[in-house]
Amino acid sequence: MPKTPTFLMTDDSHFEVSYKINPWMTPEEWRRDEVKNRAEARHAAASLAEALRQTGARVVHIDGAPGLPDMVFPANAAVVLDRRVMAARFRYPERQGEERHFLEAFARLKDEGAFDDVSQMPKDYWQEGAGDAIFDANRQFFWTGFGPRSSFEAADVLRDFFNVPVKPLELVSGRFYHLDTCFVPLSGGEVLYYPQAFSKASLSVIRDHVAADKRIEASDEDAARFAVNAVNIGRDIVMAEPTAHLADELRERGYSVVPLRLRPFIMSGGGAYCMTLRLDLKSASATNRGE
Ligand code: ARG
C-alpha cells in the first residue's frame, strides 16, 4: 500500500517581506499594502494546504516564529529521504535563526515516529534543504543546486548521508537562486525547467539525463510566475498560476494542473514547492529493503 504523501507547512502568521535577500523581495512594496498582503497571504497559504489535501495528501503544520518571516518556506529547512533528515545551513544571517526552530520541529517529529535520524549539514557548508536538493523518483538521484545559496561540496555530504547519487547543477541567475525556482522533475519522467537559470555545463547534465521529449522548457513568463516551483503528486501538479500555454502542455501530457494565486509569497521569491517540505519520500532501495 503506498503511503499517504505528507507535507510539512509552517503557519503563515509571521510572514512578511521585511528584508531583501533575493531580487524579488522589496520590503517597501510589501509595506505599502501590508494589510492586504497579509490577508492575501493567509488565504493563499490556506488554499495551498487545501489543494494538497484534495490530492489525498496529509499536511502537518508547525508554528512560525516572530522575526523569522521566511519560515513559511520549509523546503529550505532540510533534505528528507528514507526517514532521514539532513537539516539546512542557511546562507544569510536573516534566515539562520530558523535552523534552531526547524531542528526542534524535526526532533519532535522523530519522537513521534516520523523519522529515524535527524542530522545537520556540517558548519563549513551552506545548504538550503530541498530547495537545492530535489529527489527524482524516476532516476533515483538528487538533482542539487549550487551557487547562490548552497555550496557545491554540500552535494557530496548529501550523497554520503542518503546513499544515493547526486547531480549538481550550477545556478547562474540571481533571480533563480534555488534549484526549485527553475527545475522540477515530474512523475512521468518529464523535467520542467527554465534553461536560462543554468550554466552551459549544467544544461548539458540535464540534457544527458533527460531525453528531449521529456524536457519541458518554461518560458520567461512562467518562470517569473513561479509556476516551475511546483508540487507534483502523482498526476496532480499544484502550482502558482501558470500561463495557458504551460497549463495546456502539462494537460496534454496527462497531468491535472491545480493553479493557485500565491502573489504575496512570490513577493518573497517563493511559490508552492518552497512552501512545503515532503516528509515521506522513499528511495527505491529503501522500499526494496522493505523499509
Ligand atoms: N525569501 C525566501 C528566501 O529568499 C524565499 C525562499 C523561497 N524558497 C525556495 N525554495 N525557493 O530565502
Taking only the tens place, the pLDDT of each residue in 105-144 is 999 999 999 999 999 999 999 999 999 999 999 999 999 9
Question: Is the pLDDT assigned to residue 211 strictly greater than 70?
Answer: yes
Pocket test for ligand 1, best of 48, 70, 226, 265 (most atoms within 8 A of CB): 70
Residue 2 confidence (pLDDT): 59
φ/ψ bin of 140: left (φ > 0), alpha (ψ from -120 to 50), beta (otherwise): left
Q: Residue written as cell 541567475? A: 173
- Average pLDDT for residues 7-33, to the nearest whole number? 98
Q: Which helix (H) or strand (E) holds 90?
A: none
- Average pLDDT for residues 219-223, to the nearest whole number? 98
Confidence band of 1 (pLDDT split at 50, 70, 90): very low
Beta strand residue intervals within 131-286, DSSP E: 133-136, 141-146, 166-170, 183-185, 191-193, 215-217, 231-233, 236-240, 256-260, 277-278
CATH number of 6-288: 3.75.10.10
Q: Is any ligand 1 atom within 6 A of the Cβ of residue 21?
A: yes
- Rounded to the nearest integer, the mean pLDDT of the chain is 97
CA of 132 to the centre of ligand 1 (A): 11
- Average pLDDT for residues 206-214, to the nearest whole number? 98
149-182 burial code (b ≥16 CB/10 A, e <16): bbbeebbebbbebbebebbbbbbebebbbbbbbb
- Average pLDDT for residues 13-18, to the nearest whole number? 98
Pocket test for ligand 1, best of 14, 22, 173 (most atoms within 8 A of CB): 22
Q: Is any ligand 1 atom within 6 A of the Cβ of residue 276?
A: no
ipTM above 0.95, yes or no: yes
- Please report the atom of ligand 1 found closest to the CA of residue 17: 1
Catalytic residues: 178, 274
Residue of the nearest CA to atom 9 in ligand 1?
A: 274
Confidence band of 287 (pLDDT split at 50, 70, 90): confident
- Please report the atom of ligand 1 found closest to the CA of residue 75: 10
Q: Is any ligand 1 atom within 6 A of the Cβ of residue 249?
A: no
- Average pLDDT for residues 217-227, to the nearest whole number? 98
CA of 134 to the centre of ligand 1 (A): 15
- Please report the atom of ligand 1 found closest to the CA of residue 25: 1
CA of 189 to the centre of ligand 1 (A): 26
- Average pLDDT for residues 252-278, to the nearest whole number? 98
Question: Is the pLDDT assigned to residue 27 strictly greater than 70?
Answer: yes
CA of 256 to the centre of ligand 1 (A): 26
Taking only the tens place, the pLDDT of each residue in 35-88 is 999 999 999 999 999 999 999 999 999 999 999 999 999 999 999 999 999 999
